Structure formats: C-alpha cells, structure tokens
Amino acid sequence: MTPEQQALASWSIPPYFTAAVILTGVVYVRGFRRLHALMPTRFPRLRLFAFMGGLGTLLVAIASPLAAFDDLLLQVHMVQHMLLMFVAPPLLLLGAPQIPLLRGLPARVAKRVARPLLKSREVLGISGVLTYPVVCWLALAIATWTWHAPGPYQLALRSEGWHEFEHWCFIAAAMLFWWPVVQPWPSKARWPRWTMVPYLLLGDVQNNVLSAILTFSDRVIYPYYGSVPRIAELTPLDDQIAAGVIMWVPGSLLFLIPAAAIVFNLLSCRYRKLDPNVLKMQASEQ
C-alpha cells in the first residue's frame, strides 16, 4: 500500500468530538428556530448558516480524511490549524451562539443549571476578564507559539491525547481572539471599533513571523516529519516551505479582510453622517 492508502486505512472518525459537534448543532437549531420566529431581524437565517458553517469547518478539520494526513505532511497540519483558528471561530461567533444555545437546552437544564451559572458573579467576573481585548490577543499568541514550538508540536504528533488537547487549546484561544472582532450579540463592545484594526494587524504580524520562520529556515524544524513515509517524494524541507507559504498568504488574508471590512464600515458610517441629504433629514426632523 502507498503511504496515502495506509493513512486513509488507519483513519477513523473521532466519535466523541463528532458527537459533541452534532449535539451542539441540534441544540443551536432548536433555540434558533424559536428566536427567529420572535426576532427575525436580530436572528436572520444568515446567523444560522454562519454557525452551521463553523461547525462544518470543525468537522472538516478534525473529523474528515484531512486529519489522516496531518502527521505525514506539515502543510496539511497547518491547513488544519488555520481552519480551527481563523475560519471556524469567527463563523461560530457570527451565529450569536449564546442565546440560541441557551434557548435550545431543555427547559429544566436551562432554568436550574445554565441560567444561574451564567448570572453568577464569579462567571461574569471571569468572562469580563477573558473577553478583554488584550487578554484575547495574548490567548491566541500564546497558543500559537506554544504549540508550534518543536517540543510541544512533536509531542502532539506522537500522542493522540495531547493532539486533541492541542486542538481544544486552539479552538478556545481563537474563540477568545475573534470575540472582540465579531462582538456577537448581546455582548457589549469593550473598546472603540477602530481599535480592532491594529488588533487584527498585530495578529497578522505574529502569524507572519511564524510563517517566515517556516518558509526561510534552512533546516527542518520538526524532525518528526523526517521519520514518516513521504508522500509524492516531497522532502520534509519542501513540505515545511509549503506550510509556511500557506500560513503566510491565505493566513494573512484571514486577518486583513476583516480589518478592511471594519475600515470600510467605519468610513461608510462617517460618510452617511456627513451626507447633505442625511443632514437635511435630521434638520427637518428637529
């Protein structure tokens, strides 16, 4: 058998993760249907599509044949990390998941467990600290550099348990990072909206530094890949360069596009305020 065939033959769907994703989707849809009927403007179907797209992205990253090759090719592993950190979390947050998930729970669970827990001072205090933009940015940076250091990275490749823990660290850190950017309803903005532009650009800087290290290094940073069967006669160093380029170009776009969208939105709002027609309408109303 070829290395590709061996990888696919040994791959299996992770049952607990897949079940958790499916259960989350069922609870969200149940709550969303109720909220959409009551508040269709606040909860349009686009929120549903975004959230389900985020869950689908998680399944592609971890519960699809893509995961069969993450320990054979660094570039596949980096694609997996990008899906977990830069694609799935903002989609999930665009679904404004807090209230739909709460409304989707069984009434007894929501009333006796979830609501008292979410209203407790301790939880509110911890969530206030965790959603502070500086903490959110540092969470992503720490997770990125910790798990891409040679030691922890190769530990995750050799141990399935550590690999799963790495994935959960990435998902949790990325959810924090994208929280102040997306600002899912009903959360409140902690900083002025324009501050999210340098926030995203600084996130891109640290991503570019890691990408440059992978792309321009003249040695294999993760020796593990030298001990596994090679696919398509791709050397470990060539694989590493490809992984760096993938992180650099598509990865940067996933930071720059939201930053550009925020700038465009801010300029549009300012233009509308200065539009003579708008000023006339406001004057006539007064």
104 pLDDT more than 80: yes
SS3 annotation, the chain: CCHHHHHHHHCCCCHHHHHHHHHHHHHHHHHHHHHHHHCCCCCCHHHHHHHHHHHHHHHHHHCCHHHHHCCCCHHHHHHHHHHHHHHHHHHHHHCCCHHHHHHHCCHHHHHHHHHHHHHCHHHHHHHHHHCCHHHHHHHHHHHHHHHCCHHHHHHHHHCHHHHHHHHHHHHHHHHHHHHHHHCCCCCCCCCCHHHHHHHHHHHHHHHHHHHHHHHHCCCCCCHHHHCCCCCCCCCHHHHHHHHHHHHHHHHHHHHHHHHHHHHHHHHHHHHHHHCHHHHHHHHHHC
Tens digit of each residue's pLDDT (9 = 90 or more) over 152-201: 999 999 999 999 999 999 999 999 999 999 999 887 777 899 999 999 99
Tens digit of each residue's pLDDT (9 = 90 or more) over 43-77: 999 999 999 999 999 999 999 988 889 889 999 99
Tens digit of each residue's pLDDT (9 = 90 or more) over 242-276: 999 999 999 999 999 999 999 999 988 776 665 55
141 pLDDT more than 60: yes
**pLDDT at position 274, please?**
54
Tens digit of each residue's pLDDT (9 = 90 or more) over 5-37: 888 888 888 999 999 999 999 999 999 999 999
Q: What is the mean pLDDT of residues 206-230?
A: 93
